[in-house]
Amino acid sequence: MCLMSYESEPEPEEPLPAGPLYVPVRPGRGAEAAIRLFRTPLGTRTAVGFTSAARLTATLGTGQRFVRLSEALLRTLCEPLGAYLVTVDPALSAPAVTASIPRPGRAPVRNA
């Protein structure tokens, strides 16, 4: 016999807000800064925030500037730009591209 009533239970809630985030920015006009937007592996625009400066530095490097924003404010600022997703503490990032890209129509040379 089940003693729990499931009819009145609410739907699962969204995760709690992440709290103040370290948000990467790029230089804007004058002394202003602009929030950096990224893309998910599937190409969706996303705002990114980190829960600590150490996590931001480990992912984006020591030269990355940042501001502190609440998750709610980050969402509010980025939604008009088409970034409806906020990614907190992304675990993976691609290394900077340093190799030259081959010209179209030329296959890269492979040693057998």
The better pLDDT of the pair 18, 52 is held by 52
**Cα–Cα distance for residue pair 79/5, rounded to 1 Å:** 38
Quick one: which of 46, 108, 40 has its CA closest to 71? 46
Query: Is it the case that residue 75 has pLDDT exceeding 70?
Result: yes
pLDDT tens digit string along 27-57?
Answer: 888 778 899 999 988 889 999 999 999 999 9
The average pLDDT across 7-22 equals: 60
Residue 87 — very low, low, confident or very high, per pLDDT cuts 50/70/90? very high
Whether pTM exceeds 0.95: no
Phi, psi (deg, nearest 5) at residue 87: -105, 125
The average pLDDT across 62-91 equals: 93
**Cα–Cα distance for residue pair 23/82, rounded to 1 Å:** 17
- Amino acid in position 41: P
Contacts 24+ apart (CB under 8 A), 58-65: 59/90, 59/93, 60/24, 60/93, 64/24, 65/24, 65/25, 65/26, 65/27, 65/33
